[in-house]
Amino acid sequence: MNLTAIRAIYFFEMSRALRSIGQSLISPVLSTSLYFVVFGAAIGSRIEEVEGVPYGAFIVPGLIMLTVLTQATSAAAFGIYFPKFIGTLDEVLSAPMSFFEVTLGYVGAAATKALFIGLVILGTAFFFVDLSIAHPLWMAAFLVLTCLSFALLGFIIGIWAENFDQLQLVPLLVITPLVFLGGSFYSITMLPPAWQTVSLFNPVVYLVSGFRWSFFGQADVAVGVSLAMILVFLALCLGAIWIIFRTGWKLRK
């Protein structure tokens, strides 16, 4: 394992993120605060409790997930796309590093960035709603796993993208609907049975459900299933990246 090389990529990417830390933080914090104001304070007080949890608190895990998913995906996509775009990726490809090491460096940095933003939003949430976390360790585990798996997805998107439009299109067209339809703002048990079944094909449902369980002790889907599905998603992404590096798709001529 070329640990020095992984560290080199990781810290290089982190220092890039630190240069624009203000921009990276202000937008998610602001938009989440707006959600809290609108759904928590303005409308939330008129919405009845969901499964015994006040609506304002109920949406916290979903909101964190929404931001973390989007951030992890776009950070990782940009992280690999940028060196590909300016050509410095050739150096990485000619270095004595395996695909796993390269991936770990870039994805690790993107996941860290998303995790940090997620924690900041969690902190913000405490200003707006009464919140207690039932299973803090599980909460952390779900958060880290989510950051990692969607950073992996973003990494694939970054390799696939051929221009900046595509880089933004996928998170917008795929991630946002998945998150909104994934039960961020509602319990999927509120849906008609047919739609509940459709929802089960949405990976985000498992993330939000498991994550919400770690807060309130209740879930749409059994926690074990949630965890298993996240791990499956993670393995799928990793497998795809392995194939990409093996065949050199979009990377090597």
Partner 1 sequence: MPEPIVTIRDLVKRYDDGFEALSGVDLDIREGEILALLGPNGAGKTTLISSICGITRPTSGTITVGGHDTQTDWRRARDLIGLVPQEVKLEPFEMVAKTVAFSRGLFGKPHDPALIQRVLDSLSLGDKAGTPNMALSGGMKRRVLIAKALSHEPRVLFLDEPTAGVDVELRRGMWEVVADLKAQGVTIILTTHYIEEAEAIADRVAVIDRGRIRLVEETAALMARMGRKEMTVTLADPIKTLPGTLAEHGLTLSEDGYAVTYVFDSRAERTGLTRLLSDLLATGVRVTDVTTRQSSLEEIFVGLTNAAETGEAR
What residues make contact with partner 1 under the rule CB under 8 A? Answer: 2-5, 7-9, 12, 15-16, 19, 83, 86-88, 90-98, 248, 252-253
Burial 186-200 (b: 16+ CB within 10 A, else e): bbbeebeeeeeeebe
Q: Are 81 and 158 in contact (CB under 8 A)?
A: yes
Choose between 96 and 192: whose C-beta lies nearer to partner 1. Answer: 96
Minimum distance between the CB of residue 10 and partner 1, rounded to whole angstroms?
10
Spatial contact of 210 and 227, defined as CB atoms under 8 Å apart: yes
Report d(CA 247, CA 253) in Å as an integer.
Answer: 10
Q: What separation in angstroms does the CA of 243 have from each of 35, 39, 50, 146, 236?
A: 40, 43, 43, 22, 11
Q: Considering beta carbons, is residue 150 or 155 the nearer one to partner 1?
A: 155
**Residue 92 or 238: which CB sits closer to partner 1?**
92
CB of 85 to partner 1, least distance (A): 10
- At closest approach, how far in Å is the CB of 158 from partner 1? 16
87 versus 224: smaller Cβ distance to partner 1: 87
CB of 16 to partner 1, least distance (A): 8
115: Cβ contacts below 8 Å, ≥ 6 apart: 68, 143, 144, 147
Using the CB atoms, write b or e for 7-16: b if 16+ within 10 Å: eebbeebbee
> At residue 87, what is the residue type?
G
Beta bridge partners of 50: 53
CB of 19 to partner 1, least distance (A): 7
Q: Nearest distance from residue 95's CB to partner 1, in Å?
A: 4
**With respect to partner 1, which residue has the nearer C-beta, 49 or 90?**
90
- By beta-carbon proximity to partner 1, the closer residue of 23 and 94 is 94
